[in-house]
Amino acid sequence: MRKPPKKREFLIDGPAGDLEAMLESPPAANLAGCVVVCHPHPVHGGTMQNKVVHTLARGFLGQDFVALRFNFRGVGKSAGTFDNGDGELDDVLAAIDWLRTEFPEKPLWIAGFSFGAAMAVRAAVSPGVDGLISVAPAVSRFANNLDLQPECSWLIVQGDQDELVDIDETIAWVNELNPGPELDVFPETEHFFHGKLVLLRNAVEAFIEKHVSS
């Protein structure tokens, strides 16, 4: 029986004040890497406790990664107010800096869901990012027209019945990228992956295992 992850809740020094954060560590003696996981839109109820965000963290923990979740500015105990994606990108970068300081020798990945996935895409153009998983990325609203694109190992997961992020827009965007990410379209799946969270976790773990061991 696998031991549960160790959990620590604390505050990160963010660009608009403190960021509420949670670090979960797997029981493995040798860590495979570390990941920042970004939550959905702050104005529409998104928090680091979101079920898809939780599933992403669990997928990384299952592959012996340390998983850092945090609340964007203005959410929970995090200081500041919503900044339409620009300030939130700075929040992600602050979380990344914290992880790099704590685990300087480990591969660093970024993951996110919806708005958080778009923030993860924008943050992953930074040098030194080893992997990216973006679930239902709201790219048309928050990550379009990038000057650079992520060059790391990259998976996009989206449901074909997503009512908030248009699947055709995502496919068109992916087709413009070179080299493009790996796109995994879940059939009969809407935005919040109801009834599909186990399949999502399995897809995340398989992608991590493939690209960390390669």
**Which residue range(s) make up the domain with 57?**
6-212
- Residue 143: its pLDDT value, please? 60
pTM equals: 0.95
173 within a domain of the structure (yes/no): yes
Paired sense of beta strands 33-38 and 65-70, if any? parallel
27 and 1 in contact (C-beta within 8 Å)? no
34 within a domain of the structure (yes/no): yes
Q: Enumerate residue ranges in the chain where pLDDT < 50.
A: 214
- Residue 106: its pLDDT value, please? 96
- Residue 146: its pLDDT value, please? 72
Beta strands in 57-212 (DSSP E): 65-70, 108-113, 131-135, 153-159, 182-186
Task: Identify the DSSP state of 4.
Answer: P
- Residue 1: its pLDDT value, please? 60
1 within a domain of the structure (yes/no): no
**CATH number (domain holding residue 138):** 3.40.50.1820
- Residue 147: its pLDDT value, please? 72
157 within a domain of the structure (yes/no): yes
Q: How many domains does the chain have?
A: 1
- Give dist(CA 188, CA 201) in Å, integer: 17
Beta strands in the chain (DSSP E): 6-14, 17-25, 33-38, 65-70, 108-113, 131-135, 153-159, 182-186
- Residue 15: its pLDDT value, please? 97
Strand order in the sheet with 17-25: 6-14, 17-25, 65-70, 33-38, 108-113, 131-135, 153-159, 182-186
> Maximum Cα–Cα distance for the chain, whole Å?
46
31 and 66 in contact (C-beta within 8 Å)? yes
Q: What angle do CA 74, 79, 81 make, to 5 degrees?
A: 40
